């Protein structure tokens, strides 16, 4: 069954270490995709998401501009980042691991997202929604995001480890009637 991402009730967040002493949180404000969620057999679920990298927000315009520059995402040449699932490993009724290919710039690597299924609810307007939370950690350098600056006090300006947190609300799409 096809489900659309409800972008007004979904979020993609990330955190990275700044100067080795604090964490900077950011988000991507524009993304879209479909999830073919198989309620009967979750291991048959497929996910395809595209993120508009120009929508990055860290609450600092100068930093956002730097992240969009060739030093990081190079948004002028690579406007989107994509995730396409390859398999699902079901752990229990509410938890699983979603594997897929994450493409940033011209590099594609497999990542694993730990996923929690929150259930299905019917809205007052008659639509059916499903909720999921997902998280992962990755090393940005594996996707060619290598820019950094050494600090006078030791360490670097930007940490290599990026933590990702995703909250998705999906809306079930009506099936097309067969002739």
The contacts of residue 133 (CB under 8 Å, 6+ apart) are: 115, 116, 118, 165, 166, 167, 168
Residue 105, pLDDT score: 95
Range of the domain at 158: 2-172
Is beta strand 95-104 parallel, antiparallel or unpaired with respect to 128-139?
unpaired
Domain assignment present for 178: no
Domain assignment present for 128: yes
- Alpha-carbon distance of 22 to 172, in angstroms, equals 39
For the question of whether the overall pTM of this predicted structure is more than 0.85, the answer is yes
pLDDT digit string, tens, across residues 33-76: 989 998 889 999 999 999 999 999 999 999 999 999 999 999 99
Q: Does 179 have pLDDT greater than 60?
A: no
Phi, psi (deg, nearest 5) at residue 44: -90, 0
Domain assignment present for 11: yes
pLDDT digit string, tens, across residues 11-32: 999 999 998 889 999 999 999 9
Say what percent of the chain tops pLDDT 90.
84
Domain assignment present for 100: yes
- Alpha-carbon distance of 18 to 160, in angstroms, equals 10
In the chain, where does DSSP find H-type helix?
61-68
Domain assignment present for 177: no
User: Higher confidence at residue 163 or residue 178?
Assistant: 163
Domain assignment present for 121: yes
User: Higher confidence at residue 174 or residue 166?
Assistant: 166
Residue 178, pLDDT score: 39
106: number of Cβ within 10 Å: 10
Number of folded domains in the chain? Answer: 1
Domain assignment present for 179: no
CATH label of the domain that carries residue 16: 2.40.128.110
pLDDT digit string, tens, across residues 95-137: 999 999 999 999 999 999 999 999 999 989 899 999 999 999 9
Closest CA to 136 of 14, 7, 2: 14
- Alpha-carbon distance of 123 to 78, in angstroms, equals 37
Q: How far apart are the first and last CA of the chain?
A: 19
Domain assignment present for 98: yes
């Amino acid at each position: 069954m096809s489900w659309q991402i409800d972008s007004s009730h979904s979020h993609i967040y990330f955190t990275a270490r700044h100067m080795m002493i604090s964490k900077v949180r950011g988000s991507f404000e524009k993304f879209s995709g479909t999830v073919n969620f198989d309620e009967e057999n979750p291991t048959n679920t497929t996910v395809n998401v595209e993120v508009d990298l120009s929508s990055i927000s860290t609450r600092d315009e100068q930093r956002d501009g730097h992240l969009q520059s060739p030093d990081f995402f190079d948004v002028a040449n690579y406007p989107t980042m994509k995730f396409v699932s390859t398999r699902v490993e079901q752990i229990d009724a509410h938890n699983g691991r979603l594997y897929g290919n994450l493409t940033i710039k011209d590099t594609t690597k497999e990542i694993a997202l730990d996923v929690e299924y929150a259930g299905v609810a019917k809205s007052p307007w008659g639509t059916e929604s499903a909720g999921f939370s997902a998280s992962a950690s990755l090393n940005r350098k594996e996707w060619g995001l290598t820019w950094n600056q050494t600090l006078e006090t030791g360490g670097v300006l930007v940490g290599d480890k990026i933590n990702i947190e995703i909250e998705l609300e999906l809306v079930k799409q009506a099936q097309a009637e067969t002739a």
